[in-house]
Structure 1
């Protein structure tokens, strides 16, 4: 490998440690951005929407409608808020532990989306009424009268789709592809 005059081999490509730090920075920035956007939009929804009021954005397709959700998607597990709190904590722990092995940009984006979304809804479960660990999640984005969610939910779904695509492509968390070869793009 040839280098430019005055350049060393270490200038040619980032070290694995530097590359991993860059991927971790992407993960943290995405997670922080999702978390901040989720919390700001929930605060705006609580301040500007009243329960029962519908604000059409795209007719019946997309609306703003405030609810406080004690369960998961589609009102699943409404009486088990504390279990959902524990699941969210487990997701955060798994993402943080997994981040040490991250080796591709798409995985950094997926884990950042998942972490930011999980932390957004976990904050509601920990700090909102009716009490610690049992708080109701603020949902306000209504889709086709099918379900109502929030920015954290959008990020979690986007992360799930990205993880499925990465799995279908055979891209492992460390950036290797099925068959052991390394993928720099994911």
Structure 2
């Protein structure tokens, strides 16, 4: 569990730190979607947008109900992954993947609680393809964590999880 906890904390910290730098440090909090802050164009551009929905702005109704439903879903998924990892004790890569997913989900939950929407600002394009979407560090972590869980969840550590209930009594 230490690996999952550390992975989640580092992910959450990197996500929140990057958002603090971009929103407050660069002042993108008050810039419109059409304003770009070019870092290494076209490969990396900061393009500020507030996402009230899920990936690519799906379900982005501006209602408070949508916001709270998305917060509840993210917290439920993070809690379920946490319990699963704690119960099954999967391989190290699965534990790291779980931490990435949990940390990313919690980072976006904090955005929804504080700002009412998720702060997305990373935009990357390459090789003639112009990406119209923005994302953030938490989104990257959620994607990488989910991919890691999907690819490696069947791997075992070789250790059996501890038994629940009464311990076995050995008679001499």
User: Aligned residue for 2:18?
Assistant: 41
Using structure 1 for the length normalisation, give the TM-score. 0.71
Measured in 2, the distance between the counterparts of 1:37 and 1:53 equals: 24
Deviation per CA, 1:10-59: give whole Å up to 9, x if none: xxxxxxxxxxxxxx111111100010110111111111123332122332
Partner of residue 107 from structure 1, selected from 83, 94, 97:
94
User: How many pairs does the alignment contain?
Assistant: 144
Any residues of structure 2 matched to 1:80-159 within 5 Å, and which? 80-100=66-86, 101-128=88-115, 135-144=116-125, 145-159=131-145
Measured in 1, the distance between the counterparts of 2:118 and 2:39 equals: 22
The alpha-carbon deviation at position 143 of structure 1 amounts to 2.6
- The secondary structure found in structure 1 opposite 2:71 is helix
Deviation per CA, 1:125-176: give whole Å up to 9, x if none: 1222xxxxxx101111013323211100000011122122215xx42xxx26
Measured in 2, the distance between the counterparts of 1:146 and 1:155 equals: 20
Structure 1 unpaired stretches of 5+: 1-23, 129-134, 177-181
Contact 2:98–2:146 (Cα < 8 Å) also in 1: no
1:166 lines up with 2:166 in the alignment: no
Partner of residue 58 from structure 1, selected from 10, 35, 40:
40
Contact 2:11–2:141 (Cα < 8 Å) also in 1: yes
Measured in 2, the distance between the counterparts of 1:161 and 1:58 equals: 27
- The secondary structure found in structure 2 opposite 1:147 is coil
Partner of residue 59 from structure 2, selected from 64, 67, 77:
77
Structure 2 unpaired stretches of 5+: 126-130, 160-172
Deviation per CA, 1:71-96: give whole Å up to 9, x if none: 11111000132221111111121122
Using structure 2 for the length normalisation, give the TM-score. 0.77
- The secondary structure found in structure 1 opposite 2:60 is coil
Contact 1:73–1:147 (Cα < 8 Å) also in 2: no
